[in-house]
Amino acid sequence: MTQKGFFEVDSGTKVKDFELAIMERLELQPCEEFKLFAKIGDTVVNLPPDMFFYDYMRHDHLALQSKPPRTETDPDEIYQMVALIFMRKTWSKMVPGHDPKADAIFHYHQEVPKFLRGWHKSTKEDATRMAGLICRAKVADNKKFGEVSETNMPPLNELIPRDKYGNMLEKEWKKQIFAAYRDNNDGEKTSSEAKAEFLNIIFQWPAFGSAFVDVKQKAFPSLPQTLLGALNKNGLNFIDPETREIVKNYPFSQILKCRGDQGFFEIAVKGDPKKSALRFETELGYKVADLIVSYKEIETPREPAEL
């Protein structure tokens, strides 16, 4: 969800000052789990909170300028646009309803895409119920949309998880979504009420609040080579991509060390008889390591050592 506005920063503005200014502008309750990120090309990185904002941006641009363009006709490759993104990074203390504005502006909009990508284990009944709420959240404030019906609702790919598409014909899906919409009186809810109810339901699911990454592994011979990694308040989880069942879990208290980069991440865990790091392949290894450190810092002031 886009929020328009301008923020004044100067040479003395630290990243954490910028984050606080955003929360105050949006009238959010104080929360250290919201962070500022920079998106450069396909890479999204968390800005260090104690670093001066201008210093970080200047360092970033210098790093970009040191990279030669891919082609002689593509000089703009040197000067890529930096987009700033403010969002919730960790979800240890998130409870739906505690901060209704954060729920409506951030939590709902961060969780819906994960639901639609099919990363959660859900039933057909779950899908139709959630679809009714998403439908209401989309159309509640749009007077031009008209009354929701079997023939008048947002596209199916904006309502149900992609792994459910083939379960029924589109016409049948829309029929059942509208039935759930009608039977649960979704048409009488405001947009905020629909978003709140969506969050209250998905909050009970084991992968709620997860950052998901595709990983390849050889550490667990009995498990599929390709797994879905999910980092949330319960630790580092590995999900079978076919069944959506959590097949392996490492609470953060068990992770002694971690490191990651583009292409991989490694963890050392308590009780491993081999006393060797477990290695996993993923393009988002740096993100996994960063999140493990962040969650560990919430549990204890000491962060895991580098391998």
Question: Whole-angstrom Cα distance, residue 20 to residue 1?
Answer: 19
The 10s digit of each residue's pLDDT in 202-225 is: 999 999 999 999 999 999 999 999
The 10s digit of each residue's pLDDT in 12-24 is: 899 999 999 999 9
Q: What is the pTM of this model?
A: 0.88
Segment 184-211 shows an average pLDDT of: 97
Beta bridge partners of 236: 231, 250
Segment 214-239 shows an average pLDDT of: 97
3-state class of 201 per DSSP?
A: helix
Q: Above 70 in pLDDT, residue 62? A: no
DSSP string for 34-86: EEEEEEETTEEEEPPTTSBHHHHHHHHHHHHHTSPPSSTT-GGGSSPPEEEEE
DSSP 164: G
DSSP 6: -
Model confidence at 278, in pLDDT bands (50, 70, 90)? very high
pLDDT at 72: 53
**Three-state secondary structure readout of 101-119:** HHHHHHHHHHHHHHHHCCC
